[in-house]
Amino acid sequence: MGKIYRIKEFAKRIGKSVSTLRCWDAEGKLIAKRTPTGQRFYDESDVRKILGIKNISRKVVVYCRVSSSSQKDDLMSQVTAMEQYS
């Protein structure tokens, strides 16, 4: 799920006031999630929604190296291991 924000933290994160978030919740513009005790909270998906950020497509980069050309076989085994892991 990612990071969870209390209403005050979320307001600061998106540059709005707590009262604005309460109004948005009441109007249905951005409905807050609630804890079992009724406290509002938000997560990263809410941040992306408000700031207009689309889903992030991430790439994974792995780095393999050896100290000398005589260890070329070791390099190939590292590459193979990283390909299987990724």
Beta bridge partners of 34: 40
- The count of structural domains within the chain is 2
Q: DSSP 3-state assignment of 72? A: helix
> What does residue 34 show for φ and ψ, rounded to 5 degrees?
-130, 145
Residues 45, 20 share a domain = yes
Q: Single out the catalytic residue among 67, 68, 69, 70.
A: 67
Sign for the pseudo-dihedral over CA of 7, 8, 13, 16: positive
CA 19, 22, 26, 31 torsion: positive or negative? positive
3-state secondary structure of 30: coil
The pLDDT tens digits for 72-82 are 889 999 999 98
Which CATH number does the domain housing residue 17 bear? Answer: 1.10.1660.10
Active site residue 17: no
Whether 9 and 45 map to the same domain: the answer is: yes
What is the pLDDT at residue 19? 96
Is it the case that residue 56 has pLDDT exceeding 70?
no
Smallest CA-to-CA distance from 47 within 19, 21, 28 is with 21
Residue 1: pLDDT band (50, 70, 90) is low
In this structure, of 13-17, 38-42, 50-54, the range with the lowest mean pLDDT score is 50-54
Q: Within this chain, do residues 28 and 61 fall inside the same structural domain, yes or no?
A: no
Range of the domain at 45: 4-51
Whether residue 8 is found in the same domain as residue 24: yes
